[in-house]
Amino acid sequence: MVLDYGIVHCPADWHVDESIAPGYSRLYYVKGGDALYHDQGQTLPLLERHFYVLPTAIPYKLSHDPENPFICVYLHMDFFPGNLSSIYDISASEDPVLFNLLETLSECIGKESQKLIAVLADALVLYCIEEALFTITEGMLTPLLHYITENLDRDLSVEDLSNRAGYNSQYFIRLFREELGTTPYQYIIARRMERARTLLKTGITITEVSDKTGFADVKSFSRAFRKYNSLSPSAYRENPVSGP
């Protein structure tokens, strides 16, 4: 499912710091600039005319040189319940089918053709999977992650989640960190913030957003939202942050 898309010439202060595994994937078709991807195991330059599929299940950072800013076509996609645990670097210029898909997708994004963008994004992912250009996996905790996503409006305690997964709490937390690179609490907060950002764009009240994302009251929700997103829910609604 496509969460966001665009063609962007990144501003000087652009960077990404996913200190908690994001849960969705950034897909970049690089048009130019000097950008770097960093995770615990590697630093990788993002090369022009390459297609990158970024991980959903590990923390990472992105940066660029303001003197040579990052230019890309981007998609944010939810592969749930699948996970990606590493970055995939694919040379689009060496694959005519992939290259044509990406160029056509770029044209549709430029024209804001939403239905075509959704169809082409799905075709792009399907082609990459069929050609084994990247692999989406399902880990031991996949059923539980599905439960979390479907119940973000409820109280989600470690005790309840570990019981559902069939593990004691200590082992469950360790397994969760090994599989997703974060704690259950951090993962749930990240998913709630992702849901909140989506809901705030729909026009429903902040109270309703708070209820639908599992917070006890609007004050608690607003405090968490500001801490996680560096602006208030009302400010985000007025000017939704979007970008690669």
For the stretch 34-65, pLDDT in tens is: 999 999 889 999 999 999 999 887 889 999 99
Cβ atoms of residues 73 and 110 within 8 Å = no
Instruction: Tell me: do 147 and 41 sit in the same domain.
Output: no
Give the structural domain span for 71.
Answer: 2-130
CATH label of the domain that carries residue 201: 1.10.10.60
Residue 34 counted as domain residue: yes
Of 164, 160, 116, 124, the residue nearest 140 (C-alpha):
164
User: What are the angstrom distances between the C-alpha of 130 and each of 17, 52, 184?
Assistant: 31, 17, 32
Q: Specify the number of domains making up the chain.
A: 2
Among residues 130, 164, 196, the one where a domain terminates is 130
Collapse the DSSP code of 30 into the 3-class scheme (helix H, G, I; strand E, B; otherwise coil) and give the result.
strand
pLDDT of residue 3: 81
CATH number at residue 16: 2.60.120.280
Task: Look at residue 122 and tell me if it is in a domain.
Answer: yes
Give the residue from 73, 106, 130 where a domain finishes. Answer: 130
Is residue 32 included in any domain, yes or no? yes
What is the reported pLDDT for 153? 94
All residue ranges of the chain with pLDDT < 50 are none
| Confidence (pLDDT) at 51 | 96
Considering the domain architecture, whether residues 125 and 150 belong to the same structural domain is answered as no
- The answer to whether position 125 is within a domain reads yes
Does residue 69 lie within any of the structural domains? yes
Residues 122, 151: one domain?
no
Residue 74 sits in the same domain as residue 109: yes
pLDDT confidence of residue 58: 82
Residue 243 in domain: no
At residue 207, the pLDDT reads: 95
Q: CA-CA distance, 189 to 142, in Å (whole number)?
A: 17
Q: Is residue 212 part of a domain?
A: yes
pLDDT at 92: 95
Structural domain includes residue 42 = yes
Q: Alpha helix (H) ranges present in the chain? A: 96-110, 114-130, 142-150, 158-165, 169-180, 184-200, 206-212, 218-229, 233-238
Please give the pLDDT value at position 80.
61
In a shared domain, residues 102 and 161: no
Q: What is the pLDDT of residue 242?
A: 65
Check residue 220 and give its pLDDT.
Answer: 95
